[in-house]
């Protein structure tokens, strides 16, 4: 039960209910589509990158609470970040949900992302949490292919 | 037209079915998960195994393990006897004409691939057609797509209605002279629909089209009689009928099997081998290359014994009652929509909950000890048909109870509360 509470944190439930930046970005110059064929979760990530800086970000799509909240929190952290800073966030997040980071020791670096620490207790849900981040990486690299969690 | 319910029409009543006694036969059910009693409602994925089957596997490896069909020593003869004995049990279980029509395979998937490769692909020509339905499992879609790719044949899909039933008028229209094969699921794993396969087979046979029935979801819920159905092929997996994984059956009419070339070459499927010419073995061994899953086959034989002892007619009546109870109970949950409301169903309840994604339902109710399946259930076209990315699915077996249905409903309500 306590594990379950740690997964469905208020911040995750809130972002699921009212996701931030949940729209298509009309002037985007980077885009990627992410898909988890096992559960049907699907998201589009849109970026406006100028001079190596993410000026604007948005996402669209459908999926479980974990995947949607993850995309939403991610989008709220990216504005103003350089490509390298975004890549660093991707790394940190991946370590967090796979149990490779002690969230208490890394609170500063993690910020809002710490809410996803509970995911590491639910191996079946790591892909849900990671989907938007994989898609972000593809968008940064400007890959047109659909990103699958199963590759 | 004979309805599916009439086809079953079990003669006996519920009198002899004692679910508590049945539960005691399944050791795995007696455990807690996350501090709660395990409630296993993922039977369409795989069923649990009775002690009898587990014990048979254990005994085989402890006392009888040996290779079959060649040794003259004591153990080999004993293992061969048990392995072939299981084939006899399976033969009468589905009422095949002879054991030559019972081919051991890894499961329903391999059986379909075998028929696709050695029967359909051998004969079908460019532009000719294979008919399946919109509710097929991926295992009854992809092998046919592969055949079509290789031969230039076309795959035709019979649509289903909003309840999740095959539209028979459409099926009838599709059965043109171009059609060379029909492959249809008996019972849908994601919707629970029982298809009127006997009628569908008759309709295809009127046009001389052979039919394969995917019986993976059928054999543990109702009596199957392949002669009465008159299907040309019937496939099922052991692990969904309380037997081990990695073993299943392809039933085929002897006249077809005799004409078909082998699926794989190797030991045991030959009569004699020289570098000039190899003579294939007789049925069923022609299709059983290599050392088979001996323990699995023996274990499956014990699963058949178990179902015979319990009486599948009683199981059918019990599960229908449980389905009616479960359907009413989950319907009462606010914002819940059942996907698959066919008139003839087995005990499968697939559902969507407003504002809660199936995956979140699955995780939350697991914390209450309730195991269900969430996702597309290897039937992505069904999900597309109903416009959903996934469903939550509770699938019942003979050991499930009304109390477990109540616990399921409670846990669903808990999931709703988390998302309020």
Taking only residues 39 to 98 of chain A, the set having a beta carbon closer than 8 angstroms to any beta carbon of chain B reads 39-42, 62-66
| Cβ–Cβ gap A3/B359 under 8 Å | no
The answer to whether A11 contacts chain B (CB < 8 Å) is: no
What pLDDT is stored for residue A67 in this prediction?
96
Asked if the model's pLDDT at residue B256 lies above 50, the reply is yes
Asked if the model's pLDDT at residue A1 lies above 50, the reply is no
Q: What are phi and psi of B298, to 5 degrees?
A: -65, -45
Q: Which residue of B has its CA nearest to A127?
A: B359
Strands B370-371, B39-40: parallel, antiparallel or unpaired by DSSP?
Answer: parallel
Q: Is the dihedral of CA B374, B376, B382, B383 positive or negative?
A: positive
Residues B152-157 have a mean pLDDT of: 98
Which of B247, B274, B308 terminates a domain? The answer is B308
Cβ-based contacts under 8 A for chains A and B: 51
Neighbours of B15 (CB within 10 A): 8
> Looking at the structure, do residues B332 and B194 belong to the same domain, yes or no?
no
> Looking at the structure, do residues B201 and B287 belong to the same domain, yes or no?
yes
> Looking at the structure, do residues B27 and B121 belong to the same domain, yes or no?
no
What's the token pair of residue B383?
A: 């999900």
What pLDDT is stored for residue A108 in this prediction?
81
d(CA B99, CA B203): 28
What pLDDT is stored for residue B6 in this prediction?
43
Query: In angstroms, what separates the C-alpha of B194 from chain A's closest C-alpha?
Result: 25
Which of B283, B308, B333 terminates a domain? The answer is B308
**Helices vs strands, H then E, count in chain B:** 16, 17
Nearest to B120 by CA among B104, B137, B139, B143: B143
- Please report, for residues B32, B40, B348, the alpha-carbon distance to residue B45 in angstroms, rounded to integers and kept in the order given: 20, 11, 11
What pLDDT is stored for residue B15 in this prediction?
55
**CATH number of the domain within which B34 lies:** 3.90.1150.10
What pLDDT is stored for residue B2 in this prediction?
40
Residues A143-148 have a mean pLDDT of: 67
> Looking at the structure, do residues B28 and B151 belong to the same domain, yes or no?
no
Output b/e per residue, B317-346; b: 16+ Cβ within 10 A: bbbbebbebbbebbeebeebbbbbbbebbb
Q: Which residue of B has its CA nearest to A35?
A: B389
> Looking at the structure, do residues B238 and B251 belong to the same domain, yes or no?
yes
B360 confidence band (pLDDT: 50, 70, 90): very high
Q: Which residue of A has its CA nearest to B389?
A: A40
Output b/e per residue, B26-60; b: 16+ Cβ within 10 A: beebeeeeeeeebbbbbbbbebbbbeebbebbebb
> Looking at the structure, do residues B259 and B373 belong to the same domain, yes or no?
no
Query: In angstroms, what separates the C-alpha of B213 from chain A's closest C-alpha?
Result: 26
> Looking at the structure, do residues B119 and B19 belong to the same domain, yes or no?
no
A40 confidence band (pLDDT: 50, 70, 90): confident
| Cβ–Cβ gap B364/A4 under 8 Å | yes
Q: How is B3-27 classified by DSSP, letter by letter?
A: -HHHHH--SS-GGG--HHHHHHT-G
| Averaged confidence pLDDT in chain A | 90
The answer to whether B359 contacts chain A (CB < 8 Å) is: yes
d(CA A67, CA B55): 43
Query: In angstroms, what separates the C-alpha of B37 from chain A's closest C-alpha?
Result: 14
Which of B308, B326, B355 terminates a domain? The answer is B308
Question: A68 and B359 in contact (C-beta within 8 Å)?
Answer: no
The answer to whether B384 contacts chain A (CB < 8 Å) is: no
Query: In angstroms, what separates the C-alpha of B18 from chain A's closest C-alpha?
Result: 34
The answer to whether B343 contacts chain A (CB < 8 Å) is: no
> Which residue out of A12, A15, A39 would a mutagenesis test of the B interface target, given it has the greatest number of B Cβ atoms within 10 Å?
A39
> Looking at the structure, do residues B172 and B105 belong to the same domain, yes or no?
yes
A103 confidence band (pLDDT: 50, 70, 90): confident
> Looking at the structure, do residues B340 and B355 belong to the same domain, yes or no?
yes
> Looking at the structure, do residues B257 and B114 belong to the same domain, yes or no?
yes
| Cβ–Cβ gap B359/A66 under 8 Å | yes
A143 confidence band (pLDDT: 50, 70, 90): low
Q: Tell me the domains of chain A and their CATH numbers.
A: 3-148 (3.90.1010.10)
Quick: pLDDT tens for B44-100. 999 999 999 999 999 999 999 999 987 789 999 999 999 999 999 999 999 999 999
> Looking at the structure, do residues B18 and B94 belong to the same domain, yes or no?
no
Q: Collapse the DSSP code of A32 into the 3-class scheme (helix H, G, I; strand E, B; otherwise coil) and give the result.
A: strand
Neighbours of B100 (CB within 10 A): 18
Query: What domain range is B354 assigned to?
Result: 4-49+311-419
The answer to whether A150 contacts chain B (CB < 8 Å) is: no
ipTM exceeds 0.90, yes or no: no
**CATH number of the domain within which B182 lies:** 3.40.640.10
| Cβ–Cβ gap A40/B356 under 8 Å | no
> Looking at the structure, do residues B220 and B134 belong to the same domain, yes or no?
yes
Q: Which residue of B has its CA nearest to A62?
A: B389
Our count of domains for chain B comes to 2
Query: In angstroms, what separates the C-alpha of A75 from chain B's closest C-alpha?
Result: 21
Q: Which residues contact B278 (CB under 8 A, 6 or more apart)?
A: B265, B270, B272
Asked if the model's pLDDT at residue A2 lies above 80, the reply is no
The answer to whether B14 contacts chain A (CB < 8 Å) is: no
Highest averaged pLDDT of the listed ranges B66-80, B217-231, B259-273, B276-290 = B217-231
B129 confidence band (pLDDT: 50, 70, 90): very high
d(CA B344, CA B256): 31
């Amino acid at each position: 039960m306590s594990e379950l509470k740690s997964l469905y944190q208020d911040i995750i439930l809130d972002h699921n209910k009212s996701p931030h930046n949940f729209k298509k970005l009309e002037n985007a110059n980077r885009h990627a589509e992410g898909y988890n064929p096992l559960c049907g979760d699907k998201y589009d990530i849109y970026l406006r990158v100028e001079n190596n800086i993410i000026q604007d970000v948005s996402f669209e799509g459908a999926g479980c609470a974990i995947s949607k909240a993850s995309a939403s929190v991610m989008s709220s952290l990216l504005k103003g970040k350089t490509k390298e800073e975004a890549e660093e966030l991707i790394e940190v997040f991946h370590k967090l949900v796979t149990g490779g980071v002690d969230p208490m020791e890394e609170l500063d670096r993690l910020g809002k992302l710490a809410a996803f620490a509970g995911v590491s207790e639910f191996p079946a849900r790591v892909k849900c949490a990671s989907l938007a981040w994989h898609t972000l990486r593809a968008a940064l690299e400007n890959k047109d292919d659909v990103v699958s969690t199963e590759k | 037209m004979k309805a599916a319910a009439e086809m079953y029409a079990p003669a006996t009543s519920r009198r002899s079915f004692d679910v508590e006694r049945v539960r005691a036969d399944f050791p795995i059910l007696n455990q807690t998960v996350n501090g709660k009693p395990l409630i296993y409602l993922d039977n369409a994925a795989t069923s649990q195994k009775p002690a009898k089957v587990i014990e048979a596997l254990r005994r085989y490896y402890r006392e009888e393990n040996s290779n079959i069909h060649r040794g003259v020593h004591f153990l080999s003869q004993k293992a061969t006897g048990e392995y072939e004995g299981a084939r006899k049990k399976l033969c009468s279980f589905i009422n095949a004409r002879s054991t030559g029509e019972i081919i051991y395979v890894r499961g329903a998937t391999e059986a379909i691939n075998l028929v696709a490769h050695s029967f359909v692909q051998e004969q079908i020509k460019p532009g000719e057609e294979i008919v399946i339905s919109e509710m097929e499992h991926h295992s009854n879609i992809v092998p046919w797509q592969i055949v079509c790719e290789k031969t230039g044949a076309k795959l035709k899909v019979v649509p289903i209605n909003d309840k999740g039933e095959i539209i028979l008028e459409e099926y009838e229209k599709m059965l043109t002279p171009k059609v060379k094969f029909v492959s249809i699921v008996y019972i849908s794993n994601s919707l629970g629909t029982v298809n009127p396969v006997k009628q569908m087979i008759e309709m295809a046979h009127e046009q001389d089209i052979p039919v394969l029935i995917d019986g993976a979801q059928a054999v543990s819920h109702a009596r199957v009689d392949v002669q009465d159905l008159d299907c040309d092929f019937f496939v099922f997996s052991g692990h969904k009928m309380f037997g081990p994984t990695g073993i299943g059956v392809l039933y085929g009419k002897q006249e077809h099997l005799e004409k078909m070339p082998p699926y794989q070459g190797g030991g045991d499927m030959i009569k004699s081998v020289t570098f000039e010419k190899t003579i294939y073995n007789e049925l069923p061994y022609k299709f059983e290359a290599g050392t088979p899953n001996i323990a699995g086959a023996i274990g499956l034989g014990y699963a058949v014994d178990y179902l015979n002892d319990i009486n599948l007619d009683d199981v059918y009546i019990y599960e229908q009652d449980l389905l009616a109870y479960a359907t009413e109970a989950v319907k009462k949950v606010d914002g819940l929509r059942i996907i698959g409301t066919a008139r003839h169903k087995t005990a499968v309840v697939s559902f969507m909950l407003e504002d809660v994604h199936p995956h979140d339902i699955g995780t939350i109710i697991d914390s209450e000890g309730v195991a269900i399946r969430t996702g597309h259930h290897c039937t992505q076209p069904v999900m597309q048909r109903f416009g959903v990315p996934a469903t939550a699915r509770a699938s019942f077996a003979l050991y499930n109870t009304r109390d477990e249905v109540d616990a399921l409903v409670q846990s669903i309500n808990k999931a709703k509360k988390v998302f309020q």
